Amino acid sequence: MLTDYDASFSRVMDLQNIEVLLVGDSAGMVIQGHDSTLPVTLDAMVYHTSCVARVCRRAFLMADLPFMTYPDPHTALASAKRLLQEGGAHAVKLEASAAQAEIVTALSERGIPVCAHLGLTPQSVHKLGGYKVQGRGQEAATQMLETAQRLQNAGADLLLLECVPVALSKRITQQLTIPVVGIGAGPDTDAQVLVMQDLLGITPGRAPKFSRNFLEGVSSIAQAISAFRDAVKSGKFPGPEHGFE
Ligand code: KIV
């Protein structure tokens, strides 16, 4: 899985057999230049999703429900409707906690595939006190494990773990029956996602510990994307240096 926000990159990713394209609300930072995902609107997500959907032929297309567009089941359904109907998404992702279980159920019961995002949930950055690894310590780990199980029971089709200790994401992946995608969550999840700009090494400032510049040593963006795909499939990425204790 890779994040993707426009038609040109979608074509390349689709041709390189990236299986899931995620129109992430990371667009707020990497496309719009904000310092968080909080300013991203539903209109913007619909716009980016439609740009991707127009040319995406093979990949499964997932789009983020942005900040405060799913505070209750009714609003979540209306927001998801726009991402699927106007944007052309196949599934939605939401940043979850146990409190979101009823929202996941409402979407799932209406036939909308849902990915629940746990761990570092950037829409809660101010509550979390920064972009920090989540689930460290026994209590936090047990709580995340229980929440993951609860969201699966509520109807989530996919779980995404961001910045979670390697051992905990392994336990969660083993415990759940739905696929688990990781970013900064070690090598043991069922799939991996990166933000495209991190993969291309064009993120301003210090690159996140969990990413790798796949453009290094190759001569095109297509080659960088296929190198990422191959490294994930062969278990070479992420390595121990990309994970958190
Ligand atoms: O918005 C985003 O890009 C994400 C990443 C963590 C994959 O959710």
Per-residue confidence (pLDDT) for residue 102, from 0 to 100 = 98
In the sheet with 114-119, reading across from the earlier edge strand, the strands are 2-3, 20-23, 60-64, 91-95, 114-119, 158-162, 180-183, 191-192
Q: What is the CA radius of gyration of the chain?
A: 17
Ligand 1 lined by 76 (C-beta under 6 Å): no
Q: Report yes or no: 225 and 2 within 8 Å, Cβ to Cβ.
A: yes
- Ligand 1: atom nearest CA of 195 is 3
Mean pLDDT of the chain: 98
DSSP summary character for residue 190? S
Active site residues per annotation: 162
Overall pTM > 0.85: yes
Q: Report yes or no: 209 and 242 within 8 Å, Cβ to Cβ.
A: yes
Is the pLDDT score of 219 beyond 90?
yes
State the alpha helices, DSSP H only, in 89-242: 101-109, 125-128, 138-154, 166-175, 196-199, 221-233
pLDDT digits (tens, 9 = 90+) for 23-53: 999 999 999 999 999 999 999 999 999 999 9
Ligand 1 lined by 184 (C-beta under 6 Å): no
pLDDT digits (tens, 9 = 90+) for 199-212: 999 988 889 999 99
Per-residue confidence (pLDDT) for residue 205, from 0 to 100 = 84
Q: Report yes or no: 87 and 66 within 8 Å, Cβ to Cβ.
A: no
Mean pLDDT score, 161-186: 98
Question: pLDDT grade, residue 220 (50/70/90)?
Answer: very high
Tell me which of 160, 181, 189, 232 to substitute to probe ligand 1's pocket, judged by most ligand atoms within 8 Å of the beta carbon: 160
pLDDT digits (tens, 9 = 90+) for 70-105: 999 999 999 999 999 999 999 999 999 999 999 999
Q: Report yes or no: 227 and 234 within 8 Å, Cβ to Cβ.
A: no
Per-residue confidence (pLDDT) for residue 22, from 0 to 100 = 99
Angle in degrees, CA 15, 17, 241, rounded to 5: 125
Query: Which residues contact residue 130 at a Cβ distance below 8 angstroms, ignoring those fewer than 6 apart?
Result: none
Distance, CA 213 to ligand 1 centroid (Å)? 17
Can you list the positions of beta strands (E) in the chain? 2-3, 20-23, 60-64, 91-95, 114-119, 158-162, 180-183, 191-192
